[in-house]
Every structure is written in structure tokens, then in C-alpha cells.
């Protein structure tokens, strides 16, 4: 089967592992973990589109010294096909489901770290016994991750610490699930908002390919510290072009630069956020994205489709 490769170089701040981040503490669990590995994250762009109705207020996390237990499930799918221009590729099913029981806590962030944005919160999460369709990933129990961030929900840096006894498959499976989780940034605007308020969060998502993501949130309900949000996601490619690196590619495309010809996203979802907890307490979010690449003078298209479904539950 032919494969394509990216011509552009991805940002090291997103994909490159830079060693342990200073200022990111972690505790040693019953199962010893490796030295934490961290990476800085690009700051998302938050834009308020509609302030909403009624008396507005600034929504912000107030979860210092809080603890939380929840179950997080994620299913993903990816497919790449060669199609004629105008013929739609079937959407991949979001499968390969991974289930992570999570135990989270938050403390006040330490002093500012050189090279990172200022932070007020330091979140720390431990994974219980994970489960994955068709694979034994139990050795990743005790996996730790966390982030430094602000009261708005912005994550400035992410750290990962795998159990020393974790197999390569268990480690990579849990890491991918965590990456999907942190790719849904629930960030509130700095401005006062009311019911019906709408804002967008622009960020970058990594996976089989790197995508620029625009997440639109709408405040549907607010009861004290509990906010119910509608979620809509649009994704578009961040790479300018692709090229083949396999000899079995079609002759008319072999060695040519493939540029983006079309991209679409469909999504639906909602999440419930307790501002006294670091992670959503409930919700379902799904997104499917298709990107077509083509070369000048050819009606052949390389179509990449990806699907992600996430669910948060609290017993």
C-alpha cells in the first residue's frame, strides 16, 4: 500500500519531546514511573464571538487543592485512500477504544518557569488500570500526566511519566489517549459572559497528521460552578503539501507535490464542566475530518480521513 509523507517540518513545541520540564512536580506512585518527559504547548487563541444574555460573569477554574475521579474513554480511526476527484471516501469508524480511569488533583503552580508562559495551576493526574480493545495495556496502570496552566483553562505545558514496567504497546496506547484528551482545550474567555455566549478556541492537534483546530463553545446552562457547554469542532490541515515515498504509488503522482484540494469536518458534542474540578465531569464529543490532496494535471486524490470520539463519565 502506498504511503505519503509530510514535506513540512512540524513544530518542536508540539511534537518534540524536550526532556523533563522544570517546575512540574510529580509524586511517586506505588508503581515506579520513569523520569517525567515534558513539552511546551502553543498557547491557544481565544476569541469571544457573542457575550450572551443576562448579567455576565468571568468564568474561571477555582480548583486549587481539589481532587477528582472520573472515567475517560476515547475511540479513534484513521484511513487513507486513493480516489478519483469528486468521489467521496467512506468515513472511518472510531474504534480502538481506550478506557482510562483517572484520579486528578490540582495545586498552586510554582514560580514561573523560564521559556514558559506564567501559570497559576498545576494539575496532576494518575491513570488507574487502563483497558483497550484487542490489547493488554494493564502494565500502564499508574501512568502519570499533568499540566501547568491558567485559571481560564489554558494548558501551557504537558508532562508524561510512564510506569517503568509498562510495555511499549501499553505506553504508546495510553499516551495517544492522553494526547486526544489534551487536544480538547476547554478554555474560557477573559471577558464576562452570560447564557448563550459563544467563543472559539484555536489550537493545534497532533496525530496521524497535524491539524489546526477551531473549537466553538456555547454556554447553554450555568448553575453555580456547573457549566454546560455545546461543542463544535472544525479541523483543517496545517501541512502545505504531501509527497509519496513508496514505489507502488501511481505513476502520475509519483514524486509529485500533493497540495490540499479540499477539507471538511463534521462534529457534535457537549461537556459539563465543574469549575472546582480540572476535567469535564460528563460529556460526549465526536469529530470526523476528511482532507484531500492532489497534484496538478491529475484527477487522482489522496484522501485522509480521521475520526475521534471522547466520553467523560463520573459515577
CATH of the domain at 194: 2.30.230
In sequence order, the 6+-apart residues with CB closer than 8 A to the CB of 272 are 226, 227, 228, 229, 280, 281, 282, 283, 312
DSSP assignment letter at 171: H
Residue with grid cell 495545586, as numbered in its chain: 107
Residue with grid cell 517540518, as numbered in its chain: 9
Question: Which of 185, 216, 193, 230 has its CA nearest to residue 59?
Answer: 193
pLDDT of residue 247: 59
Domain count, the chain: 1
Rounded to an integer, what distance in angstroms lies between the CA atom of residue 186 and that of residue 173?
23
pTM of the prediction?
A: 0.86
Chunk the chain into consecutive blocks of 10 residues (it has 315) and report each block's average pLDDT, rounded to whole numbers: 35 33 43 80 92 90 96 93 76 84 95 75 96 95 95 93 95 94 94 96 80 96 97 88 69 83 93 98 95 88 91 93
pLDDT of residue 9: 28
Query: Which tens digits make up the pLDDT trace of 161-218?
Result: 999 999 999 999 999 999 999 999 899 999 999 999 999 999 988 766 678 999 999 9
Which region holds residue 284: left if phi is over 0, alpha if psi is between -120 and 50, else beta?
beta
Residue with grid cell 469535564, as numbered in its chain: 280
pLDDT of residue 257: 84
Q: 3-state class of 110 per DSSP? A: coil
Please compute Rg for the chain using Cα positions: 20
Q: What grid cell was written down for 119?
A: 501559570
pLDDT of residue 40: 79
CB count within 10 Å of CB 81 equals 14
pLDDT of residue 79: 87
- Strand stretches in 109-196, DSSP E: 121-127, 131-132, 144-149, 155-161, 193-195
Domain that holds residue 105: 4-313
Distances (CA, A) of 254 to 39, 82, 257: 36, 13, 9
3-state class percentages of the chain: helix first, strand second, coil last, to nearest 5: 5, 50, 45
Residue with grid cell 517503568, as numbered in its chain: 164
Rounded to an integer, what distance in angstroms lies between the CA atom of residue 280 and that of residue 1?
40
Counting every residue, how long is the chain?
315
Helix (H) or strand (E) holding 215: strand 211-223
Amino acid at each position: 500500500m502506498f504511503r505519503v509523507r509530510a514535506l513540512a517540518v512540524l513544530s518542536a513545541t508540539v511534537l518534540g519531546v524536550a526532556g523533563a520540564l522544570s517546575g512540574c512536580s510529580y509524586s511517586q506512585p506505588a508503581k515506579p514511573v520513569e523520569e517525567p518527559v515534558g513539552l511546551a504547548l502553543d498557547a491557544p487563541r481565544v476569541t469571544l464571538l457573542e457575550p450572551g444574555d443576562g448579567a455576565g460573569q468571568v468564568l474561571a477554574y477555582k480548583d486549587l487543592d481539589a481532587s477528582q475521579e472520573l472515567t475517560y474513554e476515547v475511540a479513534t480511526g484513521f484511513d487513507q485512500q486513493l480516489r478519483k476527484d469528486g468521489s467521496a471516501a467512506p468515513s472511518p469508524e472510531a474504534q480502538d477504544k481506550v478506557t482510562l480511569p483517572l484520579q486528578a488533583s490540582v495545586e498552586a503552580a510554582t514560580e514561573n518557569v523560564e521559556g514558559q508562559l506564567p501559570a497559576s495551576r498545576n494539575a496532576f493526574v494518575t491513570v488507574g488500570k487502563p483497558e483497550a480493545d484487542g490489547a493488554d495495556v494493564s502494565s500502564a496502570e499508574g501512568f502519570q500526566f499533568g499540566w501547568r496552566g491558567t485559571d481560564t483553562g489554558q494548558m501551557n505545558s504537558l508532562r508524561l511519566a510512564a510506569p517503568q514496567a509498562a510495555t511499549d504497546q501499553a505506553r504508546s496506547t495510553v499516551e495517544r489517549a492522553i494526547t486526544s484528551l489534551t487536544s480538547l482545550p476547554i478554555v474560557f474567555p477573559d471577558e464576562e459572559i452570560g447564557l448563550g455566549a459563544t467563543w472559539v478556541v484555536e489550537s493545534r492537534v497532533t496525530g496521524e497528521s497535524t491539524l489546526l483546530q477551531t473549537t466553538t463553545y456555547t454556554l447553554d446552562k450555568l448553575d453555580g460552578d456547573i457549566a454546560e457547554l455545546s461543542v463544535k469542532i472544525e479541523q483543517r490541515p496545517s501541512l502545505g503539501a504531501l509527497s509519496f515515498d513508496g514505489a507502488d504509488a501511481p505513476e502520475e503522482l509519483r514524486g509529485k507535490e500533493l497540495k490540499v484540494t479540499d477539507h471538511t469536518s463534521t462534529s457534535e458534542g457537549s461537556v459539563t464542566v465543574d469549575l472546582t474540578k480540572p476535567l469535564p465531569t460528563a460529556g460526549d464529543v465526536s469529530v470526523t475530518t476528511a482532507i484531500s490532496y492532489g497534484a496538478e494535471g491529475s484527477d487522482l486524490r489522496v484522501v485522509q480521513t480521521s475520526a475521534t470520539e471522547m466520553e467523560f463519565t463520573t459515577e
